[in-house]
Amino acid sequence: MEEQHKNILQRNRTGLVRDLDPTNLYDALLEKGVFTHDMIDELRIAGTRRDQARQLVRDLETRGSRAFPLFLECLRETGQQALAELLQIGVPTVQVHPATPTEVVRPVVEPLPVISPIDVDKHRIDPVPVHPVQRPTITPSPPPEKEYFRPRPEGRTRRDSLQSYKMEANPCGHCLIINNVDFEPQSELSNRRGSNVDCEKLESRFKALNFIVKVKTNLKERQIKHELSALSKKDHSQLDCCVVIMLSHGTEVSHSRFPGAVYGVDGKHVTVQNITLYLNGHNCPSLQGKPKLFFIQACGGDERDTGFEVSPDEVHPSSGGEDDQTDAIPTSSSSDSLSLSDEIDARTSLPTPSDILVSYSTFPGYVSWRDTQAGSWYVETLDRILQENAATDDLVTMLVMVNHEVSQNSAKGLYKQMPGSFNFLRKLFYFQVST
């Protein structure tokens, strides 16, 4: 797209986000070749009308020199003449000539070749877990629900002033595990030895926690989206929770909410942000107000953390050996923030990302280590912490335990790893544990 047209879109972003009706534009944009089917699908699940409008304007800037005049045509054809005239002010009339029958396709971000024998995945992670502040405000929607409190375990001090999520359904919810091990040669991604160990541990653990577990292996990018879409269309009304676990290579991508992306075995990635969108309150109504948990074993970048010196009383024995590998792919782009011209969307009910927790195996920009025999540091530690503490501790507390233990490990006697999470839960979360 020409620079002057980009400037016009950016200058009018606030008005477009406020007034644009994206759903009426999708067929016209597809017919004129401005967007592809995949791009339209991603726009449809982007959230509210304003979220979709905001994403549409961003994507439009990447679509070539004919995108702007064709967009104006689409606005006029769908009765949004006022917006078309607003964007046309000060711009010479553009004549759109019939396009040659060449499909306009979205640029595909190809992973760089893996040079070393080390598997690597990328995920950007926020270094500081986000904990929503509990305030005594009244939310108009959804209607008030019965509050659930767990009895205080003997010998334990608990923050019982905080409410906990209802976890009484039998089974308590669905758990989807996507385990990508063997990557297609053209993807130029190495196979992930040791990932089956992770998968078996997590399948067994979440079955023990009373989840309906479904494991899918070696999925391409479109198959990952299909499985997530199928999960979002299930009726979760009689269930209390939903879990998605991704075991794959990863990379760092631009984002506005959740960083990182995971690769399909075909070398095409799905962003973590889009993974969470399938199950948010907008796209999966039967999970509204219920906890949605995402566990990502993949790298947040290609940097290797060598750690820093600490006092002797902070030093603990560390594990890790010659077979440790990483799950990172070189960065495809840096993260960015929302435009300053974007308006804040007022909500009269729960925010769309609420009741979501995304746990990442590593810190933003850094690799995630995996032993080819014992599995990844993160999953091995997470499984053990759940086994030992799920009966007494809430999830966030257990993830802090995981963070601490993984941080004590060293790969090849040098490299470190720091897990983290994005926490948008509104209450304490306790797993069901059989007595």
By annotation, the residues acting in catalysis are: 249, 299
Pairwise CA distance, residues 160 & 215, whole Å: 35
205 sits in which H/E element:
helix 195-208
Q: Does 101 sit behind a cis peptide bond, omega within 30 degrees of 0 on the bond before it?
A: no
Task: For Cα atoms 101, 105, 109, give the angle at the middle one, nearest 5 degrees.
Answer: 155
Q: In 45-96, which residue ranges form alpha helices assigned H by DSSP?
A: 49-60, 67-77, 81-88
Instruction: Compute the CA torsion angle 53, 58, 64, 66 (nearest 10 deg).
Output: 30
Are 17 and 50 in contact by the 8 Å Cβ rule? The answer is: yes
Pairwise CA distance, residues 61 & 7, whole Å: 10
Task: Return the exposure string of 262-296: e unless at least 16 CB atoms fall within 10 Å of the residue's CB, then b.
Answer: bbbbbbbbbbbbbbbbbbbbebbeebbbbbbbbbb
Instruction: Provide the residue type at 410 as one letter.
Output: S
Pairwise CA distance, residues 305 & 168, whole Å: 41
Instruction: Please state the separation of Cα 211 from the chain's center in Å.
Output: 21
Pairwise CA distance, residues 74 & 63, whole Å: 15
Distances (CA, A) of 184 to 174, 270, 367, 412: 29, 16, 22, 28
Are 346 and 260 in contact by the 8 Å Cβ rule? The answer is: no
Helix (H, G, I), strand (E, B) or coil at 204: helix
Pairwise CA distance, residues 37 & 23, whole Å: 14
